[in-house]
Amino acid sequence: MAGLAHYMAQYDHEHSSPWNRLLHGVGIPVIFAGIVGLLLMKWLLGIGLFLGGWVLLLLGHRIEGNKPAFFRGPIYFLVGPIWVANETWMYLTGHREKKTSEQTRAPQS
């Protein structure tokens, strides 16, 4: 079984468009907020946030011209939030470095 680094590299490769990255950076936390809203019995707010977040993700993939990663396996439902957290951390700490062509190449499956 592939490790987290493999899945993260694959996810990163498939989310190279700045717009797709931005829409995922907003959409995934919105989906989580929607889930929290549903758990707290705030049905209308929860459903609105949940669906709105998914619309942002699907729009990002339409802009980039590829399918969401979760079509290849449910593991990507976990990789996406980890990827967003990592991207946010790297941005906030100033560790976001320019990627070389070697780093941005799709990993072998």
**For residue range 44-95, what is the model confidence (pLDDT) as tens digits?**
999 999 999 999 999 999 999 999 888 888 888 999 999 999 999 998 998 8
What is the pTM (predicted TM-score) of this model? 0.80
Kindly state the average pLDDT of the residues 24-44.
96
* Helix or strand holding residue 34 (H, E): helix 18-39
Let me know: does 53 contact 28? Beta carbons within 8 Å: yes
Rounded Cα distance, 9 and 61, in Å: 17
> How would residue 104 be classed by pLDDT, with cut points 50, 70 and 90?
very low
Q: How many CA atoms lie within 13 A of 86 on its CB side?
A: 13
Distances (CA, A) of 57 to 12, 21, 40, 102: 14, 9, 24, 27
Q: In sequence order, which residues have a C-beta less than 8 Å from that of residue 63 and are 6 or more positions away? A: 17, 19, 20, 23
